[in-house]
Amino acid sequence: MLQILLDIFNYFVRVGTATFLQLVFLLGPLLLLAFIMHLVAQKTEKLGYAVLGHNLYIYGFAWLGTIVHELGHAVTAIAFGHKIVDMELFTPNSPNGTLGHVNHSFNKKSIYQRIGNFFIGIGPIFSGSLVLYLASWLLFGFSFSLLNEPEISSDHTLSFHSFWTSTINVFSNVSIYVKTIFTGEETQIWKIILFIYLLFSVGTSVTLSKADVKSSLNGFIYFVFVLLLFNILTLWIGDFTENVFKKVGGFFSGFYFFLILSILINIVFIILLSFLPKQKAKK
């Protein structure tokens, strides 16, 4: 009897450890990069207004990023069964100062729709990355098949080694991507200029407002609960659990390098804008 209780206890310890490491691996890099991108985007936006002026910045760059941002919320809301109550993709003259918004409602009794709040909140990460991927494909023939697949291996849980290996893999893929864009067979100067514009315009839209974060927190709690239950039911199977998270990890890794590229190009813009003369703030 004592041995059975010890086995049950050890299993739940494994479940808790696996759940924590899975959360760190799957969402840690994504949310960390999103947070960095948010800080960089705020600085870029501030300098953009100061150097280009309100109208040029809004109608020259921010319009596209805002539309992509709001569509990210809207599409994920629909995917998780939420009802779109009100949506404005681009409202430059709104009285509250926001450039767009998506209001949605959901069934509070549905765990699936509650989990959806988390993904709806971070929806702009996915929509922004998807737009940049499509632009890369259409302009330069870029494909995910050119990238190295992430390697995840551990004793049915994720480990620091697998996390480190995946991190190296991401930066290796960034190098492959940059070479494809700037030295590939389909590279042309006008394509590079257009793509840098998209990186700047769309990249700065990958930000999470306070409302986005607040909405995501509730969904995140339910996501953790379901993930914990999933591990309780499947961890004993072993390979099944590992293979599932290997595939999911590979899916998320596709967004990492687009976030990294957006961060880098926006840092370059911050440096350039810092040296340009500033306009008087519009009152």
pTM of structure? 0.80
**CA 171 – CA 147 distance, rounded (Å):** 11
pLDDT 10s digit of each residue in the chain, 283 long?
777 778 787 888 888 888 887 787 777 777 788 788 878 888 888 888 888 888 888 998 889 989 999 999 999 999 999 999 999 999 888 777 788 889 999 998 898 999 999 899 888 888 988 898 899 899 988 876 666 655 544 443 455 555 566 667 667 777 788 888 888 888 899 999 998 888 888 877 777 777 777 778 888 888 888 888 888 887 777 656 666 666 666 666 667 777 777 787 788 889 988 888 887 654 4
b/e per residue 110-141 (b: at least 16 CB within 10 A): eeebbbbbbbbbbbbbbbbbbbbbebbeebbe
**CA 29 – CA 22 distance, rounded (Å):** 11
Q: Are 157 and 239 in contact (CB under 8 A)?
A: no
Domain ranges of the chain: 53-274
